[in-house]
Structure 1
Amino acid sequence: MPSPFTGRVRAMLHGIALGDALGAPVEKLSAAEIRARYGRVTSLAARWHKMDLQPAERNHRVRGNGIVTDDTLMTLALIEVYAETGRHLDAWDMASAMVRQLAWTPRWIPEMQREATLLDRVFYPEKWIYQRHQLAGCDPRQGGIGNMVNCGAAMYIAPVGVVNACDPCAAYDEAIAFASGHQESYGLEAAGVLAAAIAQAFVPGAGIESVLEAVLALAKDGTRRAIADIAEAALALRRSGADHAAVVARFHAILAPYSAMGDDVNHAAHKAGLATEAYRPSRLRSIEELPLALGFALVNGGAFRKTIEDGINSGRDTDSIGVMAGAILGALHGEAVVSEADRQLLDTANRFDLTAAADRFAAVAATIMRHDQDLLEARTRNREALTEGPLTQPSSDLSPGGEPVGVRDIGTPSPLPQGERSTRSVW
């Protein structure tokens, strides 16, 4: 019987793959197009809407019947980076270990039905990692500058939340440090916020509301405002009993000021050279996928399968919406929410063993967390030696106004005003 921690890691990884595989067949369709073609996608057996095209017209790829995309494969690559390093990560690990995973590690690519490198499969903003770091030799922390701003880092960043389980602030900081080698602006911010959501989801007794609170305490600028606006609407829509079509319409209307993408998600020759606000750095913008994943989770009271299905049936970047919802709610609920049939199909269709991968990663993450705990205890002893007493006792320091100030227990951070950020660890 796995520990609760290992069980949640399993569920998170299976949730990622499930959301990815459910959403992949309808990616880039609008919600209306999905309803017209499929009614509602609820099964991994859904046929890809491009499957009847000639192979060249679908980039010689296949989807459906449980096949995952680069979202899941990039997540597994990040897990391997943690296995290689055995520690917390920063942009230098993006420039080294992650580049090796992308460009120099052959693996089975399910959509291509052959062995290749991830670099052969990923979208251009992820190819950017190789170009910027290995080919251009940039400062690792500047790797994300100039990239197409999108959800590409957030889609695979969930493992950072695992190694910082129960510490959303630390997860946010590490995700920002690592993903700065890949993304910038609100694309980078989304990665930090998603990692924080995963870390909070591991807190025993947590619910989707506490995940939202942790997210809003850390998120900045347009990302925070988009999530807050979606959350407010989600709670009202839940109370009113609105149907899926009404929820999707309301969410998309809310996101319109934050994302210029809309339903027009296909790149084509006629768009070359056109001026656009899409995918450019901005403090006022946000990706769509993370606010939508959180919004559907709130509408459904944190229900795992219903949230994923609502998310992937909302159209546009359906696989990444499913990935983020599955990651957060899998970590929140544990492996009981994933059916054995889905687990088996995902493994068979993609030639991997997600349970074994999750167990190996959980062991690596637990080792990192034990090391963190040792460091915290040593730091506490050193600080107590400096203050000549336990840190939980009042100090004799005075505030600028002359009043005595007590020193808080560093394991119990004070509440944060909305939008502010703490740098303290709760470990």
Structure 2
Amino acid sequence: MTTTLETLTLDDRITGSLIGAAVGDALGGPVEGYSPEQIVERHGGRVHGIVGPWHGDEWRTARPIAPYHKGDGHITDDTLMTHALVRVYATVRDHLDAYAVADQLVPDLISTPRWIPELEAEALPLHRVFLAEKWMVTRLHYGHNDPREAGVGNIVNCGAAMYMAPVGLVNAAHPTAAYAEAVDIAGAHQSSYGREAAGVFAAAVAAACHPDATPTTVIDTALALAKDGTQAAIESVAEVAAQYSDFESALAPLRAAVAPFDTVGPDYRSPSLAARRPSRLHSIEELPIALGMLMVGGGDYRRTVLGAVNYGRDCDSIASMAGAIAGALHGESAVPSDWAKTVAEASRIDLHAPARELAAVAREIFTRDRERRRAHESAFARLTDLP
């Protein structure tokens, strides 16, 4: 019997989202940073599944991404950070804030060695994460900055947004709460439109968990909550995406739609002087494109993620975000099992364990929220004449 949207459980949606994000991340990794045209030239056509490193066996020394083994089903820092945030939820077992990043996430990154697939070695996650995450460690662990403000001054990119899926899943079907929690958490990491994207992405994942969710309702929710350039970028991309049903014809139009809001510029490897600086007029590229591909793919996991992968540029993050949303919409069965199996084996990781843990935590948090809500209702009723 085919599972329908109405019968999907919370556990299935959480599993689909987290595995979907990891698989999207692994598929996008080997072509990250390249254009759609370069991807076609390198692979003799579009990427339709898991592929090897861009430079083959020379991945250890080939620039510009050495020494990372991107490809062959290896997850990247997007998934490493996502799973780290799940571990924080598993420890705190309640809603998180910027202080949880300082007290729990940063120590996890700098103190516990883990298997890093791209390094093919056990190492501290700090040694793999990008500069924006290293900044967070510096500001919080060494600089002792107020966690709520530690993100100010960091480069503005998708660093905070890329691992916020767990926030949306803990707040499943409550996007407003997901947005607020993610914005609070991300204050320790990012500012400006990088922080905003974290909130909107978490809200999109939460919206995708609703029993009646569709790609359209997810995007409508994102637009209702997004502010400034992030809202404008999503609106621009969504209007263009609505005109297409296959990613091949949508690649160039979607890039043109997001380009006015993207500070990196046309050459992804050579960012413009305005890149990654705070602005109320701009947006990260990754989230609007992920939502655009969700619409182009009709919410179908395979079509959505492959569209994100073949878009190029920061496509591991785009595909991870798109995969998280599509996985939340349709559950684990939507994610090709052969892809998931390869990624789990190649990355030496149990993709189901974080999902089981987060599902249990989500139920505990909901129970606490209900108790807190009822206590508030009772107190408010005593203060007013409202029943």
| TM-score bracket relative to the smaller structure | over 0.9
- Correspondence 1:362 to 2:359: yes
- Mapped contact 2:263–2:283 kept (Cα < 8 A): no
Q: What residue identity is the alignment partner of 1:42? A: H
Question: Which whole-Å CA distance do the structure 1 matches of 2:47 and 2:312 have between them?
Answer: 11
Candidates 239, 256, 259, aligned match of 2:259: 256
How do 1:47-58 residues align onto structure 2 when only pairs under 5 Å count?
47-53=52-58, 55-57=60-62, 58=65
> Match for residue 119 of structure 1?
126
> Match for residue 295 of structure 2?
298
> Match for residue 269 of structure 2?
266
1:149-196 residue CA offsets vs partner (Å, 9 max, x unmatched):
000011001101111111111111110101100001000000000000
Report the CA distance shift for 1:150/1:293 in structure 2 as closer, same or farther (over 3 A).
same
- Correspondence 1:84 to 2:91: yes
How do 1:307-386 residues align onto structure 2 when only pairs under 5 Å count?
307-386=304-383
Question: Which whole-Å CA distance do the structure 1 matches of 2:294 and 2:337 have between them?
Answer: 23
- Mapped contact 2:8–2:331 kept (Cα < 8 A): no
- Correspondence 1:14 to 2:19: yes
1:183-233 residue CA offsets vs partner (Å, 9 max, x unmatched):
010000000000000111111121111111111111000000000011111
Question: Which whole-Å CA distance do the structure 2 matches of 1:233 and 1:54 have between them?
Answer: 36
Stretches of structure 1 that go unaligned for 5 or more consecutive residues are 391-427
TM-fit CA distance, 1:49: 0.7
Q: What residue identity is the alignment partner of 1:124? A: L
Question: Which whole-Å CA distance do the structure 1 matches of 2:317 and 2:59 have between them?
Answer: 25
Question: Which whole-Å CA distance do the structure 2 matches of 1:317 and 1:24 have between them?
Answer: 9
1:357-381 residue CA offsets vs partner (Å, 9 max, x unmatched):
2111110111011111111122222
How do 1:133-172 residues align onto structure 2 when only pairs under 5 Å count?
133-172=140-179
> Match for residue 128 of structure 1?
135
Question: Which whole-Å CA distance do the structure 2 matches of 1:254 and 1:389 have between them?
Answer: 49
Candidates 170, 185, 197, aligned match of 1:190: 197
Question: Which whole-Å CA distance do the structure 1 matches of 2:59 and 2:384 have between them?
Answer: 72
Candidates 226, 232, 240, aligned match of 1:225: 232
- Correspondence 1:213 to 2:220: yes
- Mapped contact 1:227–1:291 kept (Cα < 8 A): yes
The alignment yields a C-alpha RMSD, in angstroms, of 1.7
Q: What residue identity is the alignment partner of 1:301? A: G
Question: Which whole-Å CA distance do the structure 1 matches of 2:61 and 2:52 have between them?
Answer: 18
Report the CA distance shift for 1:54/1:343 in structure 2 as closer, same or farther (over 3 A).
closer
- Mapped contact 1:109–1:116 kept (Cα < 8 A): yes
Report the CA distance shift for 1:385/1:130 in structure 2 as closer, same or farther (over 3 A).
same
Count of residues in correspondence between the two structures: 379
Candidates 168, 171, 181, aligned match of 2:188: 181
Q: What residue identity is the alignment partner of 1:237? A: Y
Identify the range of structure 1 (13-22 vs 248-257) with the bigger mean alpha-carbon deviation: 248-257
| Helix, strand or coil at the partner of 1:115 | strand
Question: Which whole-Å CA distance do the structure 2 matches of 1:374 and 1:66 have between them?
Answer: 43
> Match for residue 279 of structure 2?
282
- Correspondence 1:40 to 2:46: yes
- Mapped contact 1:51–1:62 kept (Cα < 8 A): no
Report the CA distance shift for 1:167/1:230 in structure 2 as closer, same or farther (over 3 A).
same
Report the CA distance shift for 1:184/1:389 in structure 2 as closer, same or farther (over 3 A).
closer
TM-fit CA distance, 1:263: 4.0
| Helix, strand or coil at the partner of 1:140 | coil
> Match for residue 416 of structure 1?
none
> Match for residue 250 of structure 2?
247
Report the CA distance shift for 1:336/1:244 in structure 2 as closer, same or farther (over 3 A).
closer
Report the CA distance shift for 1:54/1:301 in structure 2 as closer, same or farther (over 3 A).
closer
Q: What residue identity is the alignment partner of 1:158? A: A
1:56-92 residue CA offsets vs partner (Å, 9 max, x unmatched):
3343321222111000010000000011111111111
| Helix, strand or coil at the partner of 1:248 | helix
1:317-361 residue CA offsets vs partner (Å, 9 max, x unmatched):
010010000001101111110233222212111111111221111
Q: What residue identity is the alignment partner of 1:10? A: T
TM-score by length of 1: 0.86
> Match for residue 72 of structure 2?
65
| Helix, strand or coil at the partner of 1:141 | coil
Question: Which whole-Å CA distance do the structure 2 matches of 1:54 and 1:10 have between them?
Answer: 31
TM-score by length of 2: 0.94
| Helix, strand or coil at the partner of 2:243 | helix
Candidates 108, 117, 141, aligned match of 1:110: 117
Stretches of structure 2 that go unaligned for 5 or more consecutive residues are none
> Match for residue 31 of structure 1?
36
Query: Which entry has the higher C-alpha Rg, 1 or 2?
Result: 1
- Mapped contact 1:263–1:316 kept (Cα < 8 A): no
Question: Which whole-Å CA distance do the structure 1 matches of 2:263 and 2:357 have between them?
Answer: 40
Report the CA distance shift for 1:54/1:230 in structure 2 as closer, same or farther (over 3 A).
closer
